[in-house]
Structure 1
Amino acid sequence: MRLPALFEQGTDMIARSEYLERMRCLRQRVAEAGLEAFLVSSEDSIYYLTGVSYRPLERPFFILVKPEGKQVLLVPALEQEHLRAAPNVDEVLHYWDYPAPVGQGWAERLLELLEGFGQVGVEPSLPQEIASRLAHLSPRTLPLVEALRVVKSPAEVEMLRDAARYADLAVEKLLATSYYGVSELELFAQGRAVQLRIMKERGYDVLTSSVLVGSWPAPLSAQPHGVPTIADRLEVGPHIALGFLRVNGYAAECERTYFLSPPREVERAAFAVMLEARRRAFALVRPGVDCSEIDAVTKDFLQKEGHGGHLLHRTGHGFGLGNHEAPWVAEGCTDVLRENMFISIEPGIYLPGVGGIRHSDTVRVTRDGYECLTHAPTDLASLTITASKRLHRVKGALMRRAAGVK
């Protein structure tokens, strides 16, 4: 599958010159690593270097990056003309298809390109199918592109700011639509409204955009990656509203715990502890701070408050082309915060049989602190919704009837 280059569509705020600079920086890092060639193969890495959106499916794509000389892109034949839009690739070669007759597939063409090179590097995400064909070269696995991506350029900052704005919109719509007994069908449907707003205001690259909007109902919200059905209803307990978006290549999220009936004491107490854990995490966000320190301080507080057995994940993760990428706000991570890194802050408490208590925000590290780019309310009063919302109930009943949901 393919779509024209973003910088040709007008949905991209990133200039051609920035793509050229990204390749220059990568070539410099290839040289510093003592490599004769570096093989870029992941979809996000190729998109980051070229601005060309595509979907590889079973057909692999490769950029052969050298410290000097021509940069070569190898693609399936049906993508050759499309990928010529890449601003910083000197030559676009192709293989026939996948699978292909002997001598016409990606493996043969790739090995031809690599012939004569000694020190070759590959990305950590290289699929095993490809790695096995390169084993005789003993390639070095290096996250060179990931290291470039971790600090965002001014243009990327604006792209991420846009994505965060729509994540906020998603939560706003979920909270506005929710009432005691609302179905997941009605809440998931809000994703369409968010998607249409993006299309109207920013354009929409279907291959680098995605919209996940919904609320995880209690008690399923105690399983962060549990999967609700469209027939599920939100009633008693803590529910988690989620806007999890990628807008024309750049990702953000906003999450809020909310209630559709007065919270019980155990829920109120856990909510207060979660807010204090967030406050402590935010207080540490600034350049020079170890990501692992933020996670350790947050986790230590939650454990001292009696929730050691109610923790399921780290304090946060990075944003960029992916919704989850470096830097990782987690113990065991060696990343140190720098200006214009983007992270989430989302300590969570998960009470079995009750539900999950978690807010999440998209956060930019600034020169001397942080900027929170998502602005949905965080206090318990604002997130306790008891209005009857008669019109929403009528609309919901009609929607469920049309979808055959009880």
Structure 2
Amino acid sequence: MIPRGEYLERMERLRQKVAEAGLDAFLVTSEDSIYYLTGVSYRPLERPFFILVRPGGPPVLLVPALERQHLRAAPNVEEVLHYWDYPAPAGQGWADRLLELLAGHTRVGLEPSLSQEIAGRLAHLSPRVLPLIEELRVVKSAAEVRMLRDAARYSDAAVGRLLAASYHGVSVLELFSQGRSVQLHIMRESGYDVLTSSVLVGSWPAPLSAQPHGVPSIADRLEDGPHIALAFLRVNGYAAECERTYFLSPPRQEERAAFAAMMEARRRAFALVRPGVACAELDATARDFLHQEGYGDRLLHRTGHGFGLGNHEAPWVADGSTDVLRENMLISIEPGIYLPGVGGIRHSDTVLVTRDGYESLTRYPTDLASMTVTASKRLNRLKGVLLRRAAGVK
């Protein structure tokens, strides 16, 4: 877990950044930012939460009335104020209390993710939009790296469960059901904050795997072609992922060639990972190679993204990114090739940038032999029949 002292340090660093930016106050509004600063989990739903951070005074937390006792657990907020509810009678809503707090402040900063509803009520202040907390979050502390290691370890285990449960003809239902076992595994070993933990574990069947964000039906079957196993986890606040392309019958030549190209693009990207390297350069290295191999019109996304409280956050390993790698950043390496009518070819790993290179926190095998699963698995087939019958899936 994150020690109390680290939350105190985070708030102090933010206050310093607010002062350096020449602001009277900075308004923290996003759920992840408030969690990052306080360690208190909550769900805002329609009711907004705010932390007002000032260079010369203690931070103030403004929350709906039903949350005021819960949020008093924040280790570094001395004053917790509340508004009635959403909506509220005139004079008792969030906007009334917030404008009272901001009275006299003429140089106010806001987070980039602020909702239009809140921004509209503050427009008369001509606030500046600044990613101050994103800048704090991008490099991880030792405690955060430990949390991310745990999440990565569970991601590896989840992919292992998916491949162990797979056989030619397995249903998507059977594989997505593995998520419950992963969730119970986490609960037994690490506890489970239900508001800051999530488990998405399953396999995308060919040829739908050629659409990275397509949505399979639970009745779909995994037969020939490249399938993508995915473990997309957030464990007690910190996220990681592991993805593997695998086959349930011997891959065809077109699939083998694409797999080999994906692996070489990964190798070239990994070879560049170290402090001081521009994320755009890392992305270009992988993409340029795949273009040279004739897959330029089969690419759909960047080479990677960051991890932390979110599964997708800075730094962005992408064309157009201005991010530069620093020690204790976390990124994914996941160049992908997408063959219409055939399927997707993509591995993804959670990677820690170290002092002089990198460490992959997800370590599940990547080679084609390990990713080809042809055992008949009679017991799995019987379990699949029973599960599909119970779920009403043919």
TM-score normalised by L of structure 1: 0.97
Q: Which residue of 1 aligns with 2:157?
A: 169
Q: Hey, what's the Cα distance between the residues in 1 that align with 2:152 and 2:342?
A: 29
Aligned to 1:333: 321
Cα distance in 2 for residues equivalent to 1:176 and 1:62: 46
Partners of 2:171 and 2:58 lie apart in 1 by 56
Partner AA of 2:297 in structure 1:
G
- Report the secondary structure of 1:92's partner residue: strand
Residues 51-70 of structure 1 mapped to structure 2, 5 A cutoff:
51-70=39-58
Deviations 1:112-141 (A, max 9, x none): 100100100000000000000000000000
1:125 is the counterpart of 2:103 = no
Out of 142, 167, 182, the residue aligned to residue 154 of structure 1 is: 142
RMSD: 0.4
Q: Distance in 1 between matches of 2:97 and 2:106?
A: 17
In structure 2, the residue corresponding to 1:378 is in which secondary structure?
A: coil
1:90, distance to aligned residue in structure 2 (A): 1.3
Selected match of 1:270 from 247, 251, 258: 258
Partner Cα separation in structure 2 for residue 309 and residue 331 of structure 1:
16
Tell whether 2:246 aligns with 1:258. Answer: yes
Residue matched to 1:3: none
- Amino acid of the structure 1 residue aligned with 2:86: Y
Aligned residues: 394
Tell me if 1:248 matches 2:236. Answer: yes
**CA deviations over 1:23-63 (Å, ceiling 9, x no partner):** 00000000000000000000000000000000000000000
- 1:218-229 to 2 correspondence within 5 Å? 218-229=206-217
What is the CA–CA distance in structure 1 between the aligned matches of 2:210 and 2:100, rounded to whole Å?
52
Q: For residues 282 and 165 of structure 2, what CA distance do their matches in structure 1 show?
A: 35
Measured in 2, the distance between the counterparts of 1:124 and 1:96 equals: 26
Match of 1:234 in 2: 222
State whether structure 2 residue 318 is matched by structure 1 residue 319: no
Q: What displacement does 1:80 show?
A: 0.3
The Cα of 1:330 is off from its aligned counterpart by 0.5
Structure 2 unmatched runs, 5+: none
- Partner Cα separation in structure 1 for residue 71 and residue 387 of structure 2: 43
Q: 1:205 aligns with which of 182, 193, 201?
A: 193
Question: Structure 1, unaligned stretches of length 5 or more?
Answer: 1-12
Q: 1:297: Cα distance to partner? A: 1.0
Aligned-partner Cα distance in 2 for 1:69–1:241: 49
Q: Secondary structure at the match of 1:70?
A: strand
Shift of 1:70: 1.8
Q: Deviations over 1:47-96 (max 9, x none)?
A: 00000000000000000000011210000000001000001111000000
Structure 2 partner of 1:10: none
**Structure 2: which amino acid aligns with 1:250?**
Y
CA distance in 2, matches of 1:69, 1:374: 43
Q: After superposition, give the CA deviation of every residue in 1:260-284 in whole Å (9 maximum; x if it has no partner).
A: 0010110000000000000000000
Which residue is 2:202 aligned to?
Answer: 214
Q: Distance in 1 between matches of 2:351 and 2:56?
A: 37
Identity of counterpart residues, as a percentage?
82
Deviations 1:218-245 (A, max 9, x none): 0000000000111010001000000000
**Deviation digits for residues 248-305 of structure 1 (CA, Å, limit 9, x no counterpart):** 0000000000000010110000000000000000000000000000001111100010
User: What corresponds to 1:100 in structure 2?
Assistant: 88
C-alpha distance in 2 between matches for 1:216 and 1:62: 39
Q: What is the aligned partner in structure 2 of residue 286 from structure 1?
A: 274
Q: In the alignment, what sits opposite 2:361?
A: 373
TM-score normalized by the length of structure 2: 1.00
3-state DSSP of counterpart to 1:134: helix
CA distance in 2, matches of 1:303, 1:181: 34
Whole-angstrom CA distance in 1 between matches of 2:281 and 2:325:
11
Alignment partners' CA distance in 1, 2:214 and 2:146: 32
1:363 pairs, out of 351, 365, 371, with: 351
Code of the aligned partner of 1:127: S
**d(CA) in 2 for partners of 1:75 and 1:185?**
40
Correspondence for 1:387 among 375, 379, 383: 375
In the other structure, the counterpart of 2:339 is 351
Quick one: distance in 1 between partners of 2:393 and 2:323?
Answer: 47
> What is the identity, as a one-letter code, of the residue corresponding to 1:234?
L
Q: Which residue of 2 aligns with 1:136?
A: 124
Regions of 4+ moved over 6 Å: none
**Which residue pairs with 1:4 in the alignment?**
none
**What is the alpha-carbon distance in structure 2 between the residues aligned to residue 82 and residue 375 of structure 1?**
39
